[in-house]
Structure 1
Amino acid sequence: MMTADMETAIRLTLERMDKTVFTRGTNDCDAVMADYWLMRTGLDPMAKWRGTYNTDEAAEALILAAGGNGNLVEEGMRSIGFEPKDGQPARGDFIVMDFHGDEVAGLFLDPRAAFKTARGSFRKFRPTILKAWSCD
């Protein structure tokens, strides 16, 4: 599988966040960011869960079973050999951030983060980052 360079992957991911409808399992924060990672590395951190949920209730059950969305994302990233990084994230890193008490997967753009929720696509200045992964 051909992988995309970081700036191309960022551009395509931001376009997707902004122009598509939030859909559980295919176009939620985790799915969008898993697809970004797949585009960058050829590895799918969401492979275990693809096609297994398409409702808020099913998504919440997965998140609850993992002990939070940050833990769910970390489990997926570990399944493909990536551990959370130490220190500050860099542009293009996959992050889990706090958004009004929810753990949301997003794309770090330095100093902003981009992410998708049921309420829309957002850019947050200096987000509270809980976990981050780098593929560079």
Structure 2
Amino acid sequence: MGALMERLQDWPSRLAEFVESRRDVGFARGKADCCMLVADAVQAMTGVDYAARWRGTYLTDKAAFRLLRDYGGVAGVATLLLGPAVSPALAGRGDVVLIEAPEGEALALCLGDKIAVQDRNGLTFAPTSAAKAAWKV
């Protein structure tokens, strides 16, 4: 892992369908959190589940914080799976970005002109200028 992966030919429509399907899905630790948002999006675009090893393993805050501690936070998880971070100015549609959220750093999904962020009640959107780092997908 940790290398640029190949997107499926129809990735733009897969990404759009994915975002629409998650628009109103509220936060759920280990299912609909910032890490699973981007992992599920990457899976939709590439067909590869890079988060398979963690699915169902951290359903509580305590388990999630332990996992994040072990891997160096959300940025460490992204780097492990996607390779080194790049400048947020290089983020394009479908790439993963790092933002500062009220609870701390979070992963989000670049949609081109905005980013999608997992929130308590579903997706919220922020300007791409909110990105602090990015990972190419």
User: If the length of structure 2 is used for normalisation, what is the TM-score?
Assistant: 0.78
- RMSD, aligned CA: 2.3
Q: Is the Cα–Cα contact under 8 Å of residues 14 and 44 in structure 2 kept in the other structure?
A: yes
Matching of residue 47 in structure 1 with residue 52 in structure 2 = yes
Moved more, 57-66 or 110-119: 110-119
Q: Per the alignment, do residues 61 and 26 of structure 1 end up closer, same or farther by CA in structure 2, a change over 3 Å counting? A: same
- AA matched with 2:10: D
- CA-to-partner distance for each residue in 1:78-122, whole Å, 9 max, x for gaps? xxxx44345521122122222236221111123311110335421
Q: Which runs of 5+ in 2 are unaligned?
A: 1-6
Q: For the Cα contact (< 8 Å) 2:34–2:106, is it kept in 1?
A: yes
Runs of 4+ in 1 over 4 A off after TM superposition: none
Are residues 1:67 and 2:84 paired?
no
Query: Which structure has more RCO (C-alpha within 8 Å, separation ≥ 6)?
Result: 2
Q: CA offset at residue 54 of structure 1?
A: 0.7
Give the Cα–Cα distance (whole angstroms) in 1 for the partners of residues 9 and 106 of structure 2: 23
For structure 1, the 5+ residue unaligned runs are none
Name the structure 1 match of 2:85: 84
Partner of 2:110: 108
Deviation at 1:31, TM superposition (A): 0.8
Length, aligned pairs only: 130
